[in-house]
């Protein structure tokens, strides 16, 4: 069952087209990564889905409700954490969550139980009585997620949920989002590629308002055929080693990366899918160089993203 369905969505800001004929769907219980560089149209898409403003043309439905015809019904299905979350800083955390529970229409007799549930889930018990203006950025994001969870909506949309956080806070928020996966339909809107690959089972990539890829991270990796990479560290004369490695069949390029105590590290790009490691090791040993380390580097979602966006721009 498709919980979100977008068909031919287009949005103009004056003469500028922020979205161009965008179509995609999200299945029930799916965690979808919605990727694109800054200015690609991610936030515009999320704003239309959450009924903040209408599209210029095209249609979108959420849990079977049309975003233009049934905006109240649509909003009842969604918990939303916008990129720039605005909280009432003169309230305490509990006071704010009580306020949100009230405006979401949660019955008064259920509010205490519901609020306790989201406070526990987002691990904000320690700051529940604290004023919002005194919270760290990490706790502000957690409060934002807590308000999104109030009312137990079937769909969650997180727009750049870790922006501005320190590394420990990022890990913590990712862990929280992963814990919600499967229970609800989730869209994680981001330009931080490792975040999406760790959390999401399927990825949509847009650029300049247009759809350029929809697939799992694994299947997108297959589109990088011919771009495998081997990392090798060797002791010996750099120029001679570079020439030797470049002469191995199937090598597309050799890049010297860094020289350390144990030798120089090179990145080897392959021309095709052949296994380069045995031939590289043989070439190093036969030329009396000292092999320190040899390993394959997996294609990352960042490699895929850059390749797809570059291809689209060139086209």
Residue 191 has pLDDT above 90, yes or no: no
pLDDT at 309: 73
Q: 9 and 61 in contact (C-beta within 8 Å)?
A: no
Query: pLDDT, tens digit, for every residue of 39-93?
Result: 899 999 999 999 999 999 999 999 999 999 999 999 999 999 998 888 999 999 9
Q: List every span in the chain annotated with CATH 3.40.50.300.
A: 2-222
pLDDT at 141: 92
Q: 182 and 105 in contact (C-beta within 8 Å)?
A: no
Question: Which range, of 38-42, 106-110, 121-125, 224-228, averages the lowest pLDDT?
Answer: 224-228
Q: List every span in the chain annotated with CATH 3.30.70.100.
A: 229-298
Q: What residues does 228 pair with on adjacent strands? A: none
Rounded to two decimals, the pTM is 0.78
Question: What mean pLDDT is predicted for residues 118-144?
Answer: 94
Of 164 and 274, more confident: 164
Query: 87 to each of 47, 93, 97, 162, how far by Cα in Å?
Result: 18, 9, 10, 16
Tell me how far apart the alpha carbons of residues 41 and 153 are, in angstroms, rounded to a whole number: 25
Tell me how far apart the alpha carbons of residues 234 and 240 are, in angstroms, rounded to a whole number: 11
Query: What percentage of the chain has pLDDT greater than the value 90?
Result: 64
Query: pLDDT, tens digit, for every residue of 258-311?
Result: 888 889 999 998 877 678 899 999 999 999 999 999 988 766 667 777 777 777
Tell me how far apart the alpha carbons of residues 201 and 28 are, in angstroms, rounded to a whole number: 13
pLDDT at 224: 61
Q: How many CA atoms lie within 13 A of 239 on its CB side?
A: 0
* 229-298 to CATH, choices 3.30.420.40, 3.60.20.10, 2.60.40.10, 3.30.70.100: 3.30.70.100
Query: 175 to each of 36, 75, 128, 162, 167, how far by Cα in Å?
Result: 22, 26, 20, 11, 12
Average of per-residue pLDDT values in the chain: 90
CATH number of 2-222: 3.40.50.300
- Residue entry with tokens 């759809």: 211
Helix (H) or strand (E) holding 198: helix 193-199
12: tokens are 């103009």
CB atoms within 10 A of CB 254: 20
């Amino acid at each position: 069952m498709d919980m979100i369905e977008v068909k031919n969505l287009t949005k103009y800001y004056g003469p500028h087209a922020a979205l161009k004929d965008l179509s995609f769907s999200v299945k029930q219980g799916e965690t979808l990564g919605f990727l694109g560089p800054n200015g690609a149209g991610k936030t515009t898409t999320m704003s239309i889905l959450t009924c903040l403003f209408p599209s210029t043309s095209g249609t979108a439905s959420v849990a079977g409700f049309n975003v233009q015809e049934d905006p109240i019904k649509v909003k009842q299905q969604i918990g939303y954490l916008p990129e720039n979350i605005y909280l009432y800083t003169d309230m305490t955390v509990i006071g704010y969550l009580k306020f949100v529970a009230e405006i979401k229409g949660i019955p008064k007799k259920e509010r205490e139980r519901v609020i306790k549930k989201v406070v526990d889930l987002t691990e904000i018990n320690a700051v529940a009585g604290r004023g919002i203006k005194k919270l760290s950025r990490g706790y502000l994001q957690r409060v934002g997620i807590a308000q999104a969870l109030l009312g137990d909506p079937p769909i969650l949309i997180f727009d750049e949920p870790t922006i501005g956080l320190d590394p420990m806070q990022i890990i913590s928020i990712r862990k929280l989002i992963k814990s919600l996966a499967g229970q609800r339909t989730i869209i994680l809107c981001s330009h931080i590629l490792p975040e999406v690959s760790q959390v999401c089972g399927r990825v949509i990539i847009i650029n300049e308002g247009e759809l350029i890829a929809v697939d799992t991270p694994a299947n997108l990796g297959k589109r990088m055929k011919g771009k495998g990479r081997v990392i090798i560290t060797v002791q010996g004369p750099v120029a001679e080693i570079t020439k030797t490695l470049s002469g191995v069949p199937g090598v597309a390029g050799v890049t010297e990366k860094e020289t350390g105590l144990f030798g120089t590290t090179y990145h080897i790009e392959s021309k095709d899918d052949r296994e380069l490691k045995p031939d590289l090791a043989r070439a190093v040993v036969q030329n009396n160089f000292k092999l320190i380390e040899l390993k394959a580097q997996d294609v990352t979602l960042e490699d895929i993203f850059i390749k797809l966006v570059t291809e689209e721009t060139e086209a």
